[in-house]
A and B are shown apart, each in its own frame.
Chain A
Amino acid sequence: MILQFIFDVLSLGSLYALFALGLVLIFGILKLVNFAYGELVLVFGYSMFLLGDTPVPWFFMTLIAILMSVLISISTDYIAFRPVREKSITAVLITSFAFATILQNAALLLISPRPKNVPMPSFFSDSIQFLGVITPVRNIISIIVTFICLFIFYQFMKRSHIGLAMRAAATNFNMTRMLGIPANLVITSAFAISGLLAGIGATLWMSKLANVFPGIGLEPLLIAFIATVIGGMRSVQGAVFGGFILAFIDIGFNYLLPQDILKFRDAFTFTFVILILLIRPQGLIGGPATGIRT
Protein backbone atom coordinates (compact mmCIF):
# COMPACT_ATOMS: atom_id res chain seq x y z
CA MET A 1 0.00 0.00 0.00
CA ILE A 2 2.68 2.48 1.04
CA LEU A 3 4.86 1.42 -1.87
CA GLN A 4 1.95 1.70 -4.25
CA PHE A 5 1.31 5.22 -2.96
CA ILE A 6 4.94 6.26 -3.36
CA PHE A 7 4.95 4.86 -6.86
CA ASP A 8 1.80 6.75 -7.83
CA VAL A 9 3.15 10.01 -6.44
CA LEU A 10 6.48 9.56 -8.19
CA SER A 11 4.98 8.81 -11.57
CA LEU A 12 2.39 11.59 -11.51
CA GLY A 13 4.81 13.97 -9.79
CA SER A 14 7.49 13.46 -12.40
CA LEU A 15 5.05 14.45 -15.11
CA TYR A 16 3.93 17.52 -13.13
CA ALA A 17 7.56 18.43 -12.50
CA LEU A 18 8.37 18.38 -16.21
CA PHE A 19 5.42 20.65 -17.00
CA ALA A 20 6.29 23.01 -14.16
CA LEU A 21 9.93 23.19 -15.15
CA GLY A 22 9.05 24.34 -18.66
CA LEU A 23 6.87 27.12 -17.33
CA VAL A 24 9.21 28.37 -14.62
CA LEU A 25 12.10 28.62 -17.04
CA ILE A 26 10.33 31.37 -18.98
CA PHE A 27 9.04 33.03 -15.83
CA GLY A 28 12.52 33.10 -14.32
CA ILE A 29 13.93 35.08 -17.18
CA LEU A 30 11.05 37.25 -18.36
CA LYS A 31 9.06 37.42 -15.10
CA LEU A 32 6.04 36.61 -17.22
CA VAL A 33 3.79 33.60 -17.23
CA ASN A 34 3.44 32.07 -20.66
CA PHE A 35 -0.28 31.42 -20.80
CA ALA A 36 0.08 29.75 -24.17
CA TYR A 37 2.18 27.05 -22.53
CA GLY A 38 -0.61 24.48 -22.29
CA GLU A 39 -1.17 24.78 -26.02
CA LEU A 40 2.16 23.06 -26.58
CA VAL A 41 0.44 19.89 -25.41
CA LEU A 42 -2.30 20.59 -27.94
CA VAL A 43 0.26 21.06 -30.71
CA PHE A 44 1.95 17.83 -29.71
CA GLY A 45 -1.33 15.93 -29.64
CA TYR A 46 -2.58 17.11 -33.02
CA SER A 47 0.81 16.54 -34.62
CA MET A 48 0.59 12.95 -33.41
CA PHE A 49 -2.97 12.67 -34.66
CA LEU A 50 -2.05 14.00 -38.11
CA LEU A 51 0.93 11.68 -38.31
CA GLY A 52 -1.17 8.79 -37.07
CA ASP A 53 -2.26 7.69 -40.55
CA THR A 54 1.19 7.85 -42.03
CA PRO A 55 3.59 4.91 -42.09
CA VAL A 56 6.10 6.82 -39.91
CA PRO A 57 7.19 4.63 -36.98
CA TRP A 58 5.81 5.72 -33.60
CA PHE A 59 9.17 6.76 -32.20
CA PHE A 60 9.87 9.19 -35.07
CA MET A 61 6.30 10.42 -34.94
CA THR A 62 6.90 11.39 -31.34
CA LEU A 63 10.17 13.10 -32.19
CA ILE A 64 8.47 15.14 -34.90
CA ALA A 65 5.61 16.07 -32.57
CA ILE A 66 8.04 17.15 -29.84
CA LEU A 67 9.93 19.19 -32.41
CA MET A 68 6.63 20.84 -33.36
CA SER A 69 6.01 21.89 -29.77
CA VAL A 70 9.55 23.30 -29.61
CA LEU A 71 8.89 25.29 -32.78
CA ILE A 72 5.54 26.57 -31.54
CA SER A 73 7.13 27.49 -28.22
CA ILE A 74 9.76 29.55 -30.03
CA SER A 75 7.08 31.17 -32.17
CA THR A 76 5.17 32.09 -29.00
CA ASP A 77 8.14 34.28 -28.20
CA TYR A 78 8.30 35.80 -31.68
CA ILE A 79 4.55 36.32 -32.07
CA ALA A 80 3.20 36.98 -28.59
CA PHE A 81 6.11 38.16 -26.44
CA ARG A 82 8.79 39.90 -28.43
CA PRO A 83 6.71 42.62 -30.12
CA VAL A 84 5.23 43.84 -26.82
CA ARG A 85 7.81 42.69 -24.27
CA GLU A 86 9.18 46.15 -23.58
CA LYS A 87 5.76 47.77 -23.41
CA SER A 88 3.81 46.35 -20.49
CA ILE A 89 3.07 43.18 -18.56
CA THR A 90 -0.63 43.45 -19.35
CA ALA A 91 0.06 43.52 -23.07
CA VAL A 92 2.06 40.28 -22.89
CA LEU A 93 -0.63 38.65 -20.76
CA ILE A 94 -3.20 39.44 -23.40
CA THR A 95 -1.06 38.43 -26.36
CA SER A 96 -0.15 35.09 -24.79
CA PHE A 97 -3.83 34.39 -24.08
CA ALA A 98 -4.67 35.43 -27.63
CA PHE A 99 -2.03 33.14 -29.07
CA ALA A 100 -3.44 30.27 -27.02
CA THR A 101 -6.98 31.04 -28.20
CA ILE A 102 -5.90 31.16 -31.82
CA LEU A 103 -4.28 27.73 -31.55
CA GLN A 104 -7.33 26.25 -29.82
CA ASN A 105 -9.70 27.67 -32.40
CA ALA A 106 -7.50 26.57 -35.26
CA ALA A 107 -7.80 23.02 -33.91
CA LEU A 108 -11.54 23.49 -33.51
CA LEU A 109 -12.09 24.80 -37.04
CA LEU A 110 -9.53 22.90 -39.04
CA ILE A 111 -9.70 19.54 -37.34
CA SER A 112 -12.67 18.86 -35.11
CA PRO A 113 -14.26 19.81 -31.80
CA ARG A 114 -14.40 16.11 -30.96
CA PRO A 115 -11.51 14.19 -29.38
CA LYS A 116 -9.17 12.59 -31.87
CA ASN A 117 -7.11 9.49 -31.36
CA VAL A 118 -3.43 9.78 -30.62
CA PRO A 119 -1.44 6.69 -31.53
CA MET A 120 0.33 5.14 -28.56
CA PRO A 121 2.13 1.80 -28.48
CA SER A 122 0.06 -0.77 -26.66
CA PHE A 123 2.79 -1.80 -24.24
CA PHE A 124 2.35 1.58 -22.49
CA SER A 125 -0.84 0.34 -20.88
CA ASP A 126 0.44 -3.13 -20.04
CA SER A 127 0.70 -3.71 -16.33
CA ILE A 128 3.77 -5.09 -14.73
CA GLN A 129 4.57 -6.14 -11.22
CA PHE A 130 7.47 -4.32 -9.68
CA LEU A 131 8.52 -4.66 -6.02
CA GLY A 132 5.11 -6.13 -5.32
CA VAL A 133 3.32 -3.17 -6.87
CA ILE A 134 1.19 -3.56 -9.96
CA THR A 135 1.53 -0.56 -12.19
CA PRO A 136 1.16 0.33 -15.88
CA VAL A 137 4.40 0.40 -17.86
CA ARG A 138 3.81 4.06 -18.72
CA ASN A 139 4.21 5.02 -15.06
CA ILE A 140 7.63 3.42 -14.93
CA ILE A 141 8.51 5.11 -18.22
CA SER A 142 7.34 8.48 -16.83
CA ILE A 143 9.61 8.19 -13.84
CA ILE A 144 12.64 7.07 -15.84
CA VAL A 145 12.17 9.64 -18.62
CA THR A 146 11.70 12.45 -16.13
CA PHE A 147 14.74 11.59 -14.10
CA ILE A 148 16.85 11.38 -17.26
CA CYS A 149 15.46 14.78 -18.38
CA LEU A 150 16.11 16.36 -15.00
CA PHE A 151 19.67 15.04 -14.99
CA ILE A 152 20.40 16.33 -18.49
CA PHE A 153 18.72 19.64 -17.67
CA TYR A 154 20.81 20.00 -14.53
CA GLN A 155 24.04 19.28 -16.38
CA PHE A 156 23.08 21.67 -19.14
CA MET A 157 22.34 24.51 -16.72
CA LYS A 158 25.56 23.83 -14.85
CA ARG A 159 28.02 23.26 -17.68
CA SER A 160 26.96 25.01 -20.86
CA HIS A 161 27.48 28.71 -21.46
CA ILE A 162 23.90 29.19 -22.45
CA GLY A 163 22.70 27.30 -19.37
CA LEU A 164 24.81 29.51 -17.12
CA ALA A 165 23.56 32.55 -18.99
CA MET A 166 19.96 31.49 -18.41
CA ARG A 167 20.55 31.08 -14.69
CA ALA A 168 22.26 34.46 -14.59
CA ALA A 169 19.51 36.10 -16.63
CA ALA A 170 16.94 34.82 -14.15
CA THR A 171 18.51 36.96 -11.43
CA ASN A 172 19.61 39.96 -13.43
CA PHE A 173 18.79 40.16 -17.08
CA ASN A 174 20.40 43.55 -17.74
CA MET A 175 23.66 42.51 -16.14
CA THR A 176 23.73 39.41 -18.32
CA ARG A 177 23.42 41.63 -21.36
CA MET A 178 26.20 43.88 -20.10
CA LEU A 179 28.47 40.84 -20.22
CA GLY A 180 27.86 40.55 -23.94
CA ILE A 181 25.30 37.78 -23.79
CA PRO A 182 22.59 38.51 -26.36
CA ALA A 183 19.16 38.91 -24.72
CA ASN A 184 17.33 37.28 -27.59
CA LEU A 185 19.58 34.23 -27.61
CA VAL A 186 18.88 33.60 -23.93
CA ILE A 187 15.14 34.08 -24.38
CA THR A 188 14.86 31.97 -27.51
CA SER A 189 16.83 29.15 -25.88
CA ALA A 190 14.57 29.30 -22.86
CA PHE A 191 11.48 29.00 -25.05
CA ALA A 192 13.06 26.14 -26.99
CA ILE A 193 13.84 24.19 -23.82
CA SER A 194 10.44 25.02 -22.41
CA GLY A 195 8.88 23.60 -25.58
CA LEU A 196 11.07 20.51 -25.36
CA LEU A 197 10.02 19.84 -21.77
CA ALA A 198 6.36 20.44 -22.64
CA GLY A 199 6.69 18.08 -25.61
CA ILE A 200 8.22 15.32 -23.51
CA GLY A 201 5.62 15.96 -20.81
CA ALA A 202 2.90 15.81 -23.46
CA THR A 203 4.15 12.41 -24.62
CA LEU A 204 3.74 11.06 -21.09
CA TRP A 205 0.42 12.88 -20.67
CA MET A 206 -0.93 11.42 -23.92
CA SER A 207 0.18 7.94 -22.99
CA LYS A 208 -2.64 7.99 -20.46
CA LEU A 209 -5.29 9.97 -22.37
CA ALA A 210 -4.61 8.62 -25.87
CA ASN A 211 -6.71 11.37 -27.41
CA VAL A 212 -6.53 15.08 -28.14
CA PHE A 213 -9.21 17.78 -28.17
CA PRO A 214 -9.13 21.59 -28.50
CA GLY A 215 -9.29 22.31 -24.77
CA ILE A 216 -6.57 19.87 -23.82
CA GLY A 217 -4.03 22.55 -22.91
CA LEU A 218 -5.85 23.94 -19.91
CA GLU A 219 -5.09 21.18 -17.44
CA PRO A 220 -1.33 20.96 -18.07
CA LEU A 221 -1.14 24.77 -17.85
CA LEU A 222 -2.99 24.76 -14.53
CA ILE A 223 -0.84 21.95 -13.19
CA ALA A 224 2.36 23.70 -14.20
CA PHE A 225 1.16 27.02 -12.83
CA ILE A 226 0.01 25.64 -9.49
CA ALA A 227 3.12 23.52 -9.09
CA THR A 228 5.37 26.52 -9.67
CA VAL A 229 3.31 28.66 -7.31
CA ILE A 230 3.59 26.04 -4.56
CA GLY A 231 7.27 25.46 -5.11
CA GLY A 232 8.23 29.08 -5.60
CA MET A 233 8.07 30.86 -8.93
CA ARG A 234 11.66 31.93 -8.83
CA SER A 235 13.51 28.69 -8.66
CA VAL A 236 13.88 25.72 -10.91
CA GLN A 237 14.22 23.38 -7.91
CA GLY A 238 11.02 24.88 -6.54
CA ALA A 239 9.12 24.00 -9.70
CA VAL A 240 10.27 20.40 -9.63
CA PHE A 241 9.57 20.13 -5.92
CA GLY A 242 6.17 21.78 -6.40
CA GLY A 243 5.30 19.25 -9.09
CA PHE A 244 5.93 16.37 -6.73
CA ILE A 245 4.09 18.07 -3.85
CA LEU A 246 1.06 18.71 -6.06
CA ALA A 247 1.06 15.07 -7.11
CA PHE A 248 1.39 14.06 -3.47
CA ILE A 249 -1.68 16.13 -2.59
CA ASP A 250 -3.66 14.83 -5.58
CA ILE A 251 -2.88 11.19 -4.97
CA GLY A 252 -3.24 11.62 -1.22
CA PHE A 253 -6.82 12.79 -1.67
CA ASN A 254 -7.40 9.97 -4.16
CA TYR A 255 -6.56 7.52 -1.41
CA LEU A 256 -8.25 9.34 1.46
CA LEU A 257 -11.49 10.73 0.09
CA PRO A 258 -14.57 8.50 0.09
CA GLN A 259 -15.81 7.45 -3.33
CA ASP A 260 -18.75 9.87 -3.56
CA ILE A 261 -16.67 12.95 -2.71
CA LEU A 262 -13.80 11.97 -4.98
CA LYS A 263 -15.20 13.96 -7.89
CA PHE A 264 -14.63 17.12 -5.86
CA ARG A 265 -11.00 16.25 -5.36
CA ASP A 266 -9.73 19.35 -7.14
CA ALA A 267 -11.60 21.55 -4.69
CA PHE A 268 -9.76 19.82 -1.85
CA THR A 269 -6.46 20.12 -3.69
CA PHE A 270 -6.90 23.84 -4.33
CA THR A 271 -7.94 24.47 -0.74
CA PHE A 272 -4.77 22.76 0.36
CA VAL A 273 -2.75 24.87 -2.07
CA ILE A 274 -4.34 28.02 -0.65
CA LEU A 275 -3.37 26.86 2.83
CA ILE A 276 0.22 26.37 1.74
CA LEU A 277 0.28 29.84 0.25
CA LEU A 278 -1.22 31.40 3.36
CA ILE A 279 1.69 30.03 5.34
CA ARG A 280 4.39 30.56 2.73
CA PRO A 281 3.26 33.09 0.12
CA GLN A 282 6.67 33.02 -1.56
CA GLY A 283 6.36 29.31 -2.24
CA LEU A 284 8.00 26.47 -0.40
CA ILE A 285 11.40 27.05 -1.92
CA GLY A 286 12.40 30.68 -2.23
CA GLY A 287 14.53 31.66 -5.15
CA PRO A 288 17.16 34.30 -5.68
CA ALA A 289 16.21 37.69 -4.38
CA THR A 290 14.82 39.30 -7.47
CA GLY A 291 11.47 39.32 -9.14
CA ILE A 292 11.74 42.78 -10.53
CA ARG A 293 10.80 42.77 -14.15
CA THR A 294 13.59 44.15 -16.27
Chain B
Amino acid sequence: MKMLEVKNLKVNYNQVIAVKKVDLYVDKGETVALLGANGAGKSSTLLAIAGISNKASGEVLFSGKNISKLVPEKILSLGIATIPENRDIFPDLTVKENLILGGYIHRKNSKIVKQTMTSIYELFSILYERKNQIAGTLSGGEQQMLAIGRALMSTPKMLLLDEPSLGLAPTLIEKIYEHIEKLKQNTDLTILLVEQHAIKALSIADRVYFLRLGEIVLSGKAIDIKDKIDFKKIYFGD
Protein backbone atom coordinates (compact mmCIF):
# COMPACT_ATOMS: atom_id res chain seq x y z
CA MET B 1 0.00 0.00 0.00
CA LYS B 2 1.35 3.39 -0.94
CA MET B 3 1.74 5.63 2.09
CA LEU B 4 3.37 8.57 0.38
CA GLU B 5 3.16 9.43 -3.27
CA VAL B 6 4.81 12.41 -4.92
CA LYS B 7 3.69 13.28 -8.43
CA ASN B 8 5.36 15.71 -10.77
CA LEU B 9 6.98 17.75 -8.02
CA LYS B 10 8.71 20.96 -9.02
CA VAL B 11 10.44 23.45 -6.75
CA ASN B 12 11.72 26.86 -7.81
CA TYR B 13 13.64 29.32 -5.71
CA ASN B 14 13.04 32.50 -7.66
CA GLN B 15 14.84 31.85 -10.96
CA VAL B 16 16.65 28.74 -9.81
CA ILE B 17 15.03 25.39 -10.42
CA ALA B 18 15.89 23.11 -7.51
CA VAL B 19 13.60 20.25 -8.42
CA LYS B 20 12.64 19.78 -12.06
CA LYS B 21 10.40 16.76 -11.94
CA VAL B 22 10.21 14.21 -9.19
CA ASP B 23 7.85 11.26 -9.01
CA LEU B 24 8.25 8.79 -6.21
CA TYR B 25 6.33 6.69 -3.77
CA VAL B 26 6.95 5.03 -0.43
CA ASP B 27 5.00 1.97 0.67
CA LYS B 28 3.83 1.50 4.23
CA GLY B 29 6.64 0.15 6.41
CA GLU B 30 9.24 0.68 3.72
CA THR B 31 12.54 2.51 4.01
CA VAL B 32 13.26 4.43 0.85
CA ALA B 33 16.44 6.39 0.21
CA LEU B 34 16.71 9.44 -1.98
CA LEU B 35 20.31 9.71 -3.10
CA GLY B 36 22.34 12.14 -5.12
CA ALA B 37 25.11 14.67 -5.04
CA ASN B 38 25.08 18.04 -3.35
CA GLY B 39 22.52 20.28 -4.98
CA ALA B 40 20.62 17.50 -6.72
CA GLY B 41 17.37 18.65 -5.12
CA LYS B 42 17.07 16.04 -2.38
CA SER B 43 16.49 18.37 0.53
CA SER B 44 14.20 20.58 -1.51
CA THR B 45 12.08 17.53 -2.28
CA LEU B 46 11.91 16.62 1.39
CA LEU B 47 11.05 20.13 2.56
CA ALA B 48 8.36 20.39 -0.11
CA ILE B 49 6.76 17.22 1.26
CA ALA B 50 6.97 18.65 4.79
CA GLY B 51 5.14 21.77 3.61
CA ILE B 52 7.98 24.22 4.16
CA SER B 53 8.59 25.23 0.58
CA ASN B 54 5.78 27.42 -0.67
CA LYS B 55 7.26 27.56 -4.15
CA ALA B 56 6.52 23.92 -4.89
CA SER B 57 4.05 22.66 -7.43
CA GLY B 58 2.81 19.15 -8.12
CA GLU B 59 0.98 16.67 -5.96
CA VAL B 60 1.90 15.08 -2.67
CA LEU B 61 -0.45 12.35 -1.48
CA PHE B 62 -0.30 10.91 2.02
CA SER B 63 -2.50 7.83 2.53
CA GLY B 64 -4.35 8.95 -0.58
CA LYS B 65 -5.02 12.48 0.71
CA ASN B 66 -3.56 15.46 -1.13
CA ILE B 67 -1.38 17.32 1.36
CA SER B 68 0.53 19.56 -1.02
CA LYS B 69 -1.32 22.70 0.03
CA LEU B 70 -1.19 22.08 3.76
CA VAL B 71 0.89 24.02 6.29
CA PRO B 72 3.77 22.19 8.03
CA GLU B 73 1.98 21.96 11.40
CA LYS B 74 -0.98 20.23 9.73
CA ILE B 75 1.29 17.80 7.88
CA LEU B 76 2.94 16.78 11.14
CA SER B 77 -0.42 16.20 12.78
CA LEU B 78 -1.29 13.76 9.95
CA GLY B 79 1.74 11.70 10.95
CA ILE B 80 4.74 12.91 8.95
CA ALA B 81 7.67 14.01 11.11
CA THR B 82 10.65 15.75 9.56
CA ILE B 83 14.26 15.78 10.69
CA PRO B 84 15.85 18.47 8.57
CA GLU B 85 19.42 18.76 7.43
CA ASN B 86 21.60 20.28 10.19
CA ARG B 87 19.14 18.64 12.64
CA ASP B 88 17.80 22.03 13.77
CA ILE B 89 17.50 21.19 17.42
CA PHE B 90 16.72 24.20 19.61
CA PRO B 91 20.15 25.01 21.02
CA ASP B 92 19.03 27.18 23.97
CA LEU B 93 16.53 24.68 25.27
CA THR B 94 17.41 21.66 27.34
CA VAL B 95 17.32 18.16 25.89
CA LYS B 96 14.11 17.48 27.76
CA GLU B 97 12.48 20.72 26.60
CA ASN B 98 13.35 19.81 23.02
CA LEU B 99 11.62 16.47 23.48
CA ILE B 100 8.60 18.06 25.15
CA LEU B 101 8.15 20.32 22.14
CA GLY B 102 8.47 17.29 19.87
CA GLY B 103 5.46 15.84 21.69
CA TYR B 104 3.49 19.07 21.37
CA ILE B 105 0.57 17.44 19.54
CA HIS B 106 0.11 15.03 22.45
CA ARG B 107 0.34 17.78 25.10
CA LYS B 108 -3.16 17.06 26.40
CA ASN B 109 -2.27 13.42 26.96
CA SER B 110 0.59 13.33 29.42
CA LYS B 111 0.54 9.52 29.49
CA ILE B 112 1.51 9.22 25.82
CA VAL B 113 4.17 11.90 26.24
CA LYS B 114 5.67 10.10 29.23
CA GLN B 115 5.62 6.70 27.56
CA THR B 116 7.14 7.98 24.34
CA MET B 117 9.81 9.88 26.22
CA THR B 118 10.72 6.79 28.20
CA SER B 119 11.06 4.73 25.04
CA ILE B 120 13.24 7.41 23.44
CA TYR B 121 15.45 7.48 26.52
CA GLU B 122 15.72 3.70 26.19
CA LEU B 123 16.71 3.97 22.56
CA PHE B 124 19.19 6.81 23.17
CA SER B 125 20.41 6.38 26.73
CA ILE B 126 22.83 9.29 26.32
CA LEU B 127 19.84 11.63 26.00
CA TYR B 128 18.57 10.47 29.37
CA GLU B 129 21.94 11.18 30.96
CA ARG B 130 21.91 14.65 29.43
CA LYS B 131 18.23 15.46 29.76
CA ASN B 132 18.77 18.68 31.70
CA GLN B 133 21.71 19.81 29.61
CA ILE B 134 21.35 22.73 27.16
CA ALA B 135 20.98 21.08 23.76
CA GLY B 136 23.48 23.38 22.07
CA THR B 137 26.25 21.87 24.18
CA LEU B 138 25.68 18.34 22.86
CA SER B 139 28.09 16.82 20.36
CA GLY B 140 27.05 16.47 16.73
CA GLY B 141 26.11 12.82 17.12
CA GLU B 142 24.10 13.48 20.26
CA GLN B 143 22.32 16.34 18.54
CA GLN B 144 21.38 13.98 15.72
CA MET B 145 19.98 11.52 18.25
CA LEU B 146 18.04 14.33 19.88
CA ALA B 147 16.66 15.41 16.51
CA ILE B 148 15.49 11.86 15.82
CA GLY B 149 14.12 11.51 19.34
CA ARG B 150 12.29 14.80 19.07
CA ALA B 151 10.67 13.72 15.80
CA LEU B 152 9.62 10.40 17.36
CA MET B 153 7.90 12.25 20.21
CA SER B 154 4.98 12.99 17.89
CA THR B 155 4.56 9.21 17.37
CA PRO B 156 4.65 9.63 13.59
CA LYS B 157 3.63 7.13 10.95
CA MET B 158 6.37 8.32 8.67
CA LEU B 159 9.79 9.89 9.11
CA LEU B 160 11.47 12.25 6.65
CA LEU B 161 15.13 12.05 7.50
CA ASP B 162 17.55 14.47 5.86
CA GLU B 163 21.25 13.54 5.82
CA PRO B 164 21.68 12.00 9.25
CA SER B 165 25.37 11.48 8.45
CA LEU B 166 26.06 15.15 7.72
CA GLY B 167 29.13 16.47 9.52
CA LEU B 168 29.61 13.38 11.68
CA ALA B 169 32.72 11.31 12.18
CA PRO B 170 32.62 7.84 10.52
CA THR B 171 32.21 5.99 13.82
CA LEU B 172 29.28 8.22 14.73
CA ILE B 173 27.67 7.70 11.32
CA GLU B 174 27.94 3.99 12.02
CA LYS B 175 26.22 4.47 15.36
CA ILE B 176 23.42 6.65 14.03
CA TYR B 177 22.70 4.10 11.32
CA GLU B 178 22.62 1.32 13.90
CA HIS B 179 19.93 3.29 15.68
CA ILE B 180 17.96 3.84 12.50
CA GLU B 181 18.25 0.14 11.74
CA LYS B 182 16.95 -0.65 15.23
CA LEU B 183 14.05 1.73 14.75
CA LYS B 184 13.24 0.07 11.47
CA GLN B 185 13.17 -3.36 13.05
CA ASN B 186 11.30 -2.49 16.21
CA THR B 187 8.58 -0.32 14.74
CA ASP B 188 6.48 -0.22 11.61
CA LEU B 189 7.78 3.24 10.85
CA THR B 190 7.92 4.26 7.20
CA ILE B 191 11.09 6.18 6.38
CA LEU B 192 12.10 8.43 3.53
CA LEU B 193 15.82 8.99 3.87
CA VAL B 194 17.87 11.58 2.04
CA GLU B 195 21.60 10.90 1.87
CA GLN B 196 24.79 11.84 0.11
CA HIS B 197 26.45 8.90 1.77
CA ALA B 198 25.05 6.42 -0.76
CA ILE B 199 26.74 3.26 0.49
CA LYS B 200 25.45 3.73 4.01
CA ALA B 201 21.95 4.48 2.81
CA LEU B 202 21.91 1.49 0.47
CA SER B 203 22.70 -0.73 3.41
CA ILE B 204 19.44 0.01 5.20
CA ALA B 205 17.06 1.06 2.41
CA ASP B 206 14.57 -1.27 0.75
CA ARG B 207 14.38 0.85 -2.36
CA VAL B 208 16.33 3.83 -3.68
CA TYR B 209 15.92 6.75 -6.03
CA PHE B 210 18.85 8.62 -7.53
CA LEU B 211 18.41 12.28 -8.11
CA ARG B 212 20.55 14.36 -10.41
CA LEU B 213 20.00 18.03 -11.24
CA GLY B 214 16.45 17.92 -9.97
CA GLU B 215 15.38 14.78 -11.79
CA ILE B 216 15.19 11.12 -10.91
CA VAL B 217 17.71 9.28 -13.07
CA LEU B 218 17.53 5.81 -11.59
CA SER B 219 15.39 3.86 -9.17
CA GLY B 220 14.98 0.33 -7.95
CA LYS B 221 15.44 -2.17 -5.15
CA ALA B 222 18.50 -1.57 -3.02
CA ILE B 223 19.75 -5.15 -3.35
CA ASP B 224 19.55 -5.08 -7.13
CA ILE B 225 21.29 -1.74 -7.43
CA LYS B 226 23.97 -2.08 -4.80
CA ASP B 227 26.57 -3.91 -6.85
CA LYS B 228 25.69 -2.87 -10.34
CA ILE B 229 25.64 0.83 -10.21
CA ASP B 230 28.22 3.19 -11.51
CA PHE B 231 28.25 5.87 -8.84
CA LYS B 232 30.49 8.14 -10.82
CA LYS B 233 28.04 8.29 -13.66
CA ILE B 234 25.06 8.92 -11.41
CA TYR B 235 26.77 11.65 -9.47
CA PHE B 236 28.71 13.41 -12.15
CA GLY B 237 26.95 12.57 -15.40
CA ASP B 238 28.57 11.22 -18.53
Contacts and interface: CB of A to CB of B under 8 A. Distances in A.
Interface of A: 86, 161, 164-165, 167-168, 171-172, 174-183, 288-289
Nearest to B160: A178
Contact of A178 (B54, B84, B91, B107): B84
Contacts of A168: 90, 93, 101
Contacts of A177: 52, 71-73, 76
Contacts of B100: 161, 164
11 contacts: A167-B92, A171-B92, A174-B72, A175-B84, A175-B90, A177-B71, A178-B52, A178-B81, A178-B82, A181-B104, A182-B73
B80 to A, nearest CB: 9
A285 B6 CA distance: 45
A175 B77 CA distance: 14
Q: What are the 8 A-B residue pairs with the smallest beta carbon separation, nearest first? A: A180-B76, A177-B72, A180-B105, A175-B88, A168-B90, A178-B82, A182-B73, A178-B72
Contacts, number: 65
Interface string B72-112: 11001100011010001011110001001110110100000
A28 to B, nearest CB: 11
Contacts of B150: 179
Contacts of A181: 73, 101, 104
Contacts of A176: 101
Classify the secondary structure of A's interface with B: helix
Interface string B122-158: 0000000000000010000000000000100010000
B82 A165 contact: no
B92 A180 contact: no
Interface in B173-229: none
Contacts of A172: 88, 90
B50 interface: yes
Contacts of B93: 164, 167-168
A5 to B, nearest CB: 34
Contacts of A167: 90, 92-93
- Among B77, B81, B92, the most chain A Cβ lie within 10 Å of the Cβ of B92
Contacts of B52: 174, 177-178
Contacts of B104: 161, 165, 179-181
Contacts of B71: 177, 182-183
Given A164-B101, A171-B91, 8 more contacts: A168-B101, A171-B90, A178-B52, A178-B76, A178-B81, A180-B154, A182-B73, A288-B92
A164 B90 CA distance: 10
Nearest to A176: B101
A124 B82 CA distance: 54
B161 to A, nearest CB: 13
Nearest to A294: B52
